A and B are shown apart, each in its own frame.
Chain A
Amino acid sequence: MTPLLEVRDLTKRYGPRIGCADVTFELWPGEVLGIVGESGSGKSTLLSCLAGHLAPDTGSVVYDTRANGARDTLTMSEPERRMLGRTDWAFVHQNPRDGLRMNVSAGGNVGERLMAVGARHYGNIRATASDWLGRVEIADERIDDRPSAFSGGMQQRLQIARNLVTGPRLVFMDEPTGGLDVSVQARLLDLIRALVRDLGLSAIIVTHDLAVVRLLADRLMVMKSGRVVEEGLTDQVLDDPQHAYTQLLVSSVLHV
Chain B
Amino acid sequence: MYVAVKGGERAIENAHAWLAEERRGDTSVPELSVAQIREQMGLAVARVMAEGSLYDPDLAALAIKQARGDLIEAVFLIRAYRTTLPRFGASRPIETADMACKRRVSATFKDAPGGQVLGPTFDYTHRLLDFALAAEGEVPPAPQAEPAEGPVPHITGFLNREGLIQQERPSEETPPDLTRQPLETPADRSLRLQALARGDEGFILGLGYSTQRGYAKNHAFVGELRIGDVEVEFDIPELGFAVTIAEIEVTECETVNQFKGSKLEPPQFTRGYGLTFGMAERKAISMALVDRAMRWRELGEDYVGAPAQDEEFVLYHCDSIQATGFVEHIKLPHYVDFQAELELVRRMRREAAEAQAAAGAAAMKEAAE
Chain A residues packing against B (C-beta within 8 Å): 14-17
User: Hey, which chain B residues are within 8 Å of A17, CB to CB?
Assistant: 263
User: Hey, which chain A residues are within 8 Å of B262, CB to CB?
Assistant: 15
> How far apart sit A15 and B264, CA to CA, in the bound complex (Å)?
5
User: Hey, which chain A residues are within 8 Å of B300, CB to CB?
Assistant: 15
> How far apart sit A52 and B191, CA to CA, in the bound complex (Å)?
31
Q: Which 5 residue pairs are nearest across A and B when measured between Cβ atoms?
A: A15-B263, A15-B264, A14-B263, A17-B263, A15-B262
Q: With A14-B263, A15-B300 given, name 6 new contacts (CB 8 A).
A: A15-B262, A15-B263, A15-B264, A16-B263, A16-B264, A17-B263
- Give B235-265 interface residues, CB cut-off 8 Å to A: 262-264
- Give B259-303 interface residues, CB cut-off 8 Å to A: 262-264, 300
CB-based nearest B residue for A13: B263
> How far apart sit A15 and B300, CA to CA, in the bound complex (Å)?
10
> How far apart sit A14 and B300, CA to CA, in the bound complex (Å)?
10
Digitize B299-325: 1 where CB-to-A-CB distance is under 8 Å, 0 elsewhere. Answer: 010000000000000000000000000
The smallest beta-carbon distance between A147 and chain B, in angstroms, is 20
> How far apart sit A15 and B265, CA to CA, in the bound complex (Å)?
9
CB-based nearest A residue for B262: A15
Give 8 CB contacts A-B under 8 Å.
A14-B263, A15-B262, A15-B263, A15-B264, A15-B300, A16-B263, A16-B264, A17-B263
The smallest beta-carbon distance between B264 and chain A, in angstroms, is 4
CB-based nearest A residue for B263: A15
User: Hey, which chain B residues are within 8 Å of A16, CB to CB?
Assistant: 263-264
The smallest beta-carbon distance between B68 and chain A, in angstroms, is 44
CB-based nearest A residue for B264: A15
> How far apart sit A23 and B143, CA to CA, in the bound complex (Å)?
75
User: Hey, which chain A residues are within 8 Å of B264, CB to CB?
Assistant: 15-16
CB-based nearest A residue for B300: A15
The smallest beta-carbon distance between A100 and chain B, in angstroms, is 18
The smallest beta-carbon distance between B327 and chain A, in angstroms, is 25
The smallest beta-carbon distance between A139 and chain B, in angstroms, is 21
User: Hey, which chain B residues are within 8 Å of A14, CB to CB?
Assistant: 263
> How far apart sit A14 and B263, CA to CA, in the bound complex (Å)?
6
CB-based nearest B residue for A14: B263
- Counting chain B CB atoms within 10 Å of each CB, the highest count among A15, A16, A17 belongs to A15
> How far apart sit A15 and B262, CA to CA, in the bound complex (Å)?
9
> How far apart sit A179 and B117, CA to CA, in the bound complex (Å)?
58
The smallest beta-carbon distance between A118 and chain B, in angstroms, is 28
The smallest beta-carbon distance between A136 and chain B, in angstroms, is 30
> How far apart sit A202 and B262, CA to CA, in the bound complex (Å)?
38
User: Hey, which chain B residues are within 8 Å of A15, CB to CB?
Assistant: 262-264, 300
> How far apart sit A17 and B300, CA to CA, in the bound complex (Å)?
14
> How far apart sit A17 and B262, CA to CA, in the bound complex (Å)?
11
The smallest beta-carbon distance between A231 and chain B, in angstroms, is 28
> How far apart sit A76 and B264, CA to CA, in the bound complex (Å)?
29
> How far apart sit A3 and B262, CA to CA, in the bound complex (Å)?
39
The smallest beta-carbon distance between A29 and chain B, in angstroms, is 38
Digitize B5-29: 1 where CB-to-A-CB distance is under 8 Å, 0 elsewhere. Answer: 0000000000000000000000000
The smallest beta-carbon distance between A149 and chain B, in angstroms, is 21
> How far apart sit A16 and B264, CA to CA, in the bound complex (Å)?
7
CB-based nearest A residue for B265: A15
The smallest beta-carbon distance between A14 and chain B, in angstroms, is 5
The smallest beta-carbon distance between B332 and chain A, in angstroms, is 30
> How far apart sit A17 and B265, CA to CA, in the bound complex (Å)?
12
> How far apart sit A239 and B263, CA to CA, in the bound complex (Å)?
38
User: Hey, which chain A residues are within 8 Å of B263, CB to CB?
Assistant: 14-17
> How far apart sit A14 and B262, CA to CA, in the bound complex (Å)?
10
> How far apart sit A15 and B263, CA to CA, in the bound complex (Å)?
6
The smallest beta-carbon distance between A96 and chain B, in angstroms, is 19
- Counting chain A CB atoms within 10 Å of each CB, the highest count among B262, B263, B300 belongs to B263
> How far apart sit A17 and B263, CA to CA, in the bound complex (Å)?
7
The smallest beta-carbon distance between A76 and chain B, in angstroms, is 23
Digitize B131-148: 1 where CB-to-A-CB distance is under 8 Å, 0 elsewhere. Answer: 000000000000000000
The smallest beta-carbon distance between B305 and chain A, in angstroms, is 13
The smallest beta-carbon distance between A189 and chain B, in angstroms, is 32
> How far apart sit A99 and B369, CA to CA, in the bound complex (Å)?
49
The smallest beta-carbon distance between A17 and chain B, in angstroms, is 6
The smallest beta-carbon distance between A18 and chain B, in angstroms, is 11
> How far apart sit A16 and B262, CA to CA, in the bound complex (Å)?
11
The smallest beta-carbon distance between B272 and chain A, in angstroms, is 23
- Give B102-117 interface residues, CB cut-off 8 Å to A: none
CB-based nearest B residue for A17: B263
> How far apart sit A59 and B262, CA to CA, in the bound complex (Å)?
25
The smallest beta-carbon distance between A98 and chain B, in angstroms, is 14
> How far apart sit A187 and B96, CA to CA, in the bound complex (Å)?
68
> How far apart sit A16 and B300, CA to CA, in the bound complex (Å)?
13
The smallest beta-carbon distance between A106 and chain B, in angstroms, is 22
> How far apart sit A60 and B32, CA to CA, in the bound complex (Å)?
74
The smallest beta-carbon distance between A13 and chain B, in angstroms, is 9
> How far apart sit A21 and B264, CA to CA, in the bound complex (Å)?
18
> How far apart sit A17 and B261, CA to CA, in the bound complex (Å)?
14
> How far apart sit A36 and B26, CA to CA, in the bound complex (Å)?
81
The smallest beta-carbon distance between B162 and chain A, in angstroms, is 23
The smallest beta-carbon distance between B246 and chain A, in angstroms, is 46
The smallest beta-carbon distance between B14 and chain A, in angstroms, is 48
